[in-house]
Amino acid sequence: MIITRHDSPVGQLTLVSNGSQLTGLYVDGQRYFPDLTMAEKGADLPLFNDVTRWLDDYFAGKKPSVQYLPLLLQGTAFRLKVWELLRTIPYGETMTYGELTRRLNETEGMKTCARAVGNAVGRNPISIIIPCHRVVGTDGSLTGYAGGLDIKCKLLALEQI
């Protein structure tokens, strides 16, 4: 595991890679932050240059594409499906936990509840790039964010939501 740090308008970010793919992007202090004590520092990894360029563009108000970023999501089959749905939420838009649940029920034939979906959203290992911050409560309220509601507010404001 290789890591680097990146300054951003929402604080220090930790980028994690297996050497060729991004496996994590964490805001300092967020819940579910992995133990990285054995990780190797690798700021010069070409992937990290691409990710930091993406982040800089995003925080500059641009709408960078994630298609060229090699992401590796690791989790249960259920979480992977939730995280894939998160990737479909367009920049500048939100989706409710209930809508995510309905989509899973319809497209995957799964019988699940919003609470289980919320748990999976909260454990998204590649925050910001996989936009879990765009998920809101049924009434549009800002509920839960592993990085903290203040950071969720900043990210949504950046996207003019």
Counting the structural domains of the chain, the total is: 2
Predicted confidence band of residue 48 (pLDDT cuts 50, 70, 90): very high
pTM (2 d.p.): 0.91
What digits encode the pLDDT tens for the residues 87-111? 999 999 999 999 999 998 887 777 7
Domain assignment present for residue 95? The answer is yes
Give residue 50's domain range: 2-59
| Shared domain check, 130 and 89 | yes
| Shared domain check, 153 and 87 | yes
Tokens 């894939």 sit on residue: 84
Kindly state the percentage of the chain with pLDDT values over 90. Answer: 66
What whole-number distance in Å separates Cα of residue 59 and Cα of residue 54? 9
User: 32: domain CATH number?
Assistant: 3.30.160
User: Which is the catalytic residue, given 3, 45, 132, 135?
Assistant: 132
Mean pLDDT of 15-19: 94
Burial call 149-158: b when 16+ CB within 10 Å, e when fewer: eebbebbbeb
Helix, coil or strand: residue 114? helix
Q: What is the DSSP letter of 125?
A: S
Q: State the Rg of the chain over Cα.
A: 15
Domain assignment present for residue 69? The answer is no
Domain assignment present for residue 70? The answer is no
Greater pLDDT, 29 or 92: 92
What whole-number distance in Å separates Cα of residue 41 and Cα of residue 2? 6
Burial call 23-42: b when 16+ CB within 10 Å, e when fewer: bbbbbeebeeeeeeeebeeb
Does residue 132 have an active-site annotation? yes
pLDDT score at 23: 96
